[in-house]
């Protein structure tokens, strides 16, 4: 009866619409990825543009829903889980100091730039602060995807980008908590902000310090389980579990997924689990990339004034990360500073979430929301081609990467 009911549900108009949405998103992403690969451009950019084309702003074949949002969230969670599998805790400790400097400067400079441009444009104080908070965001999933495809996740600069992104997320969380408190309560709830910051930092440090040791200790017991692919199931369970815990302490779930991968990074080398998890990711990830493009609202940008502001904010978003993060890494040399700075440029889904929170609190206007949306998508499209060029001369550091080049077509 359950099978019949499920089949009838999918045969209903609602079920047909659901399947149509998934079909269009997935096929559009892969066709665009193939086209961009043939044009020798990053497939990531093609998949995001596919979202713009099939989304409400152009062809209107599909639109953002709770389902597409959930699929997108799962996609980026699994992506960061794979990246974590390539990142041992010792690697993060080696670049921790440098990553912290990069993250702090990569937060301060964009926030000031975003606040000042909106203030000069005549926006309200709270609106200016929200745009500044959105400028702080970093979507490490985009950079990780590009570097993973090139087999460069084990480079020192890649580790710094990943470490800085984790710290950046925690700092951004604190800023967002302050801004949301100002918008909703008219003041700052210091106890709530301190609690959130303490939990976020404690959670991250705890998993990095004891996660790998604990997993290594229980690995033999897991592998004796009778279910099929026990270590893969254990890994996915840990990924989803830590992602859930991250949401409970108000940290982005991708941080929990990344930490789960790190905890498994040493023990997973002895298994086929990374390649099995990669296959799962390759199904879900296109929904994440297409969803970013689907968020674009071109109609808001029809006003010359709003479009001009959107372009200026986007340029500042790129330059502020390049300058802030670049200064933090400048002692490593100009090229590496540029690589790290550009790796922190994409705002992606993180910037979009900040804008949505601001809109929900009535702290930003629809025009400001459109500006941030444009900036988030534009920076996500701008970064991949430059990353490919900046890392072109680097040698692959993994002979058999978890995310091979062929996986994007």
Within a domain: 166 = yes
User: Of the given ranges (193-197, 199-203, 221-225, 379-383), which has the lowest mean pLDDT?
Assistant: 193-197
Calpha distance 314→308 (Å, rounded): 10
Calpha distance 296→300 (Å, rounded): 9
Residue 330's closest CA among 177, 160, 183?
160
Per the CB < 8 A criterion, the answer to whether 353 and 177 are in contact is no
Per the CB < 8 A criterion, the answer to whether 267 and 219 are in contact is yes
State the DSSP string of 359-389: HHTT-S-HHHHHHHHHHHHHHHHHHHHHHHH
Calpha distance 377→405 (Å, rounded): 23
pLDDT at 325: 93
Strand positions, DSSP E, 256-392: none
pLDDT at 102: 92
Per the CB < 8 A criterion, the answer to whether 135 and 114 are in contact is yes
Per the CB < 8 A criterion, the answer to whether 76 and 254 are in contact is yes
What is the three-class DSSP state of 138?
coil
State the DSSP string of 95-111: HHHHHHHHHHHHHHHHH
Q: What is the CATH number of the domain that holds 262?
A: 1.20.1530.20
The conformation of residue 270, written as its DSSP 8-state character, comes to T
Within a domain: 8 = no
How big is the CA angle at 194 (ends 190 and 196), to the nearest 5 degrees?
A: 120
Calpha distance 308→322 (Å, rounded): 21
Decide if pLDDT at 405 tops 60. no
Within a domain: 6 = no
What pTM did the predictor assign? 0.77
Per the CB < 8 A criterion, the answer to whether 252 and 72 are in contact is no
pLDDT at 7: 52
Percent of the residues in the chain that have a pLDDT greater than 90, as a whole number? 24
70 to each of 36, 73, 152, 255, how far by Cα in Å?
26, 5, 29, 17
pLDDT tens column, 291-326: 888 887 777 777 888 899 999 999 999 999 999 999
How far from each other are the two terminal CA atoms of the chain, in whole angstroms? 39
pLDDT tens column, 250-281: 777 888 898 898 889 888 777 788 888 888 88
Over residues 23-28, mean pLDDT: 95
Output the CA torsion 388→392→397→398 (10° steps). Answer: 50
Within a domain: 2 = no
Per the CB < 8 A criterion, the answer to whether 82 and 261 are in contact is yes
pLDDT tens column, 200-210: 888 888 888 88
Q: Phi and psi at residue 42, in whole multiples of 5°? A: -60, 130
299 to each of 137, 308, 322, 349, 381, how far by Cα in Å?
24, 14, 30, 20, 19
Calpha distance 315→308 (Å, rounded): 11
How many CA within 13 A on the CB side of residue 110? 37
DSSP H/E element including 200: helix 190-223
Per the CB < 8 A criterion, the answer to whether 87 and 162 are in contact is yes
Within a domain: 3 = no
Per the CB < 8 A criterion, the answer to whether 355 and 372 are in contact is yes
Boundaries of domain holding 199: 14-408
Structural domains counted in the chain: 1
pLDDT tens column, 359-376: 777 777 878 888 888 888
Within a domain: 7 = no
């Amino acid at each position: 009866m359950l099978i019949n009911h499920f089949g009838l549900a999918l045969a209903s108009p609602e079920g047909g619409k659901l399947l149509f949405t998934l079909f269009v998103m997935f096929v559009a992403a892969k066709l665009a990825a193939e086209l961009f690969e043939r044009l020798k451009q990053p497939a990531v950019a093609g998949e995001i543009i596919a979202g713009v084309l099939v989304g409400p702003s152009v062809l209107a074949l599909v639109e953002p829903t709770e389902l597409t949002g959930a699929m997108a969230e799962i996609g980026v969670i699994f992506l960061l889980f794979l990246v974590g599998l390539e990142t041992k805790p010792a690697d993060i400790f080696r670049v921790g100091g440098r990553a912290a400097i990069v993250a702090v400067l990569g937060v301060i400079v964009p926030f000031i730039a975003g606040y000042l441009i909106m203030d000069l444009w005549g926006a309200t104080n709270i609106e200016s602060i929200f745009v500044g908070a959105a400028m702080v965001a970093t979507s490490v999933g985009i950079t990780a995807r590009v570097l993973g495809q090139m087999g460069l996740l084990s480079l020192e600069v890649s580790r710094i980008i990943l470490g800085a992104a984790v710290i950046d997320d925690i700092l951004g969380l604190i800023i967002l908590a302050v801004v949301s408190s100002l918008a909703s309560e008219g003041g700052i709830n210091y106890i709530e902000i301190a609690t959130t910051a303490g939990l976020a930092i404690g959670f991250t440090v705890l998993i990095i310090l004891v996660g790998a040791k604990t997993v290594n200790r229980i690995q033999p017991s897991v592998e004796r389980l009778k279910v099929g692919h026990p270590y893969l199931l254990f890994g996915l369970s840990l990924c989803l579990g830590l992602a859930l815990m991250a949401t409970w302490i108000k940290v982005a779930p991708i941080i929990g997924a990344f930490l789960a991968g790190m905890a498994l990074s040493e023990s997973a080398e002895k298994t086929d689990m990374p390649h099995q998890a990669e296959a799962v990711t390759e199904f879900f990830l296109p929904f994440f990339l297409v969803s970013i493009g689907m968020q674009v609202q071109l109609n808001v940008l029809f006003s010359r004034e709003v479009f001009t502001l959107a372009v200026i904010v986007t340029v500042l978003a790129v330059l502020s990360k390049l300058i802030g993060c670049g200064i933090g890494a400048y002692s490593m040399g100009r090229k590496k500073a540029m690589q790290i700075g550009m790796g922190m440029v994409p705002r992606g889904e993180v910037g979009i979430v900040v804008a949505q929170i601001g809109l929900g609190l009535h702290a930003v206007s629809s025009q400001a929301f459109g500006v941030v949306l444009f900036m988030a998508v534009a920076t996500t499209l701008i970064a991949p081609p430059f990353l490919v060029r900046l890392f072109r001369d680097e040698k692959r550091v993994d002979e058999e990467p978890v995310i091979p080049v062929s996986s994007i077509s």
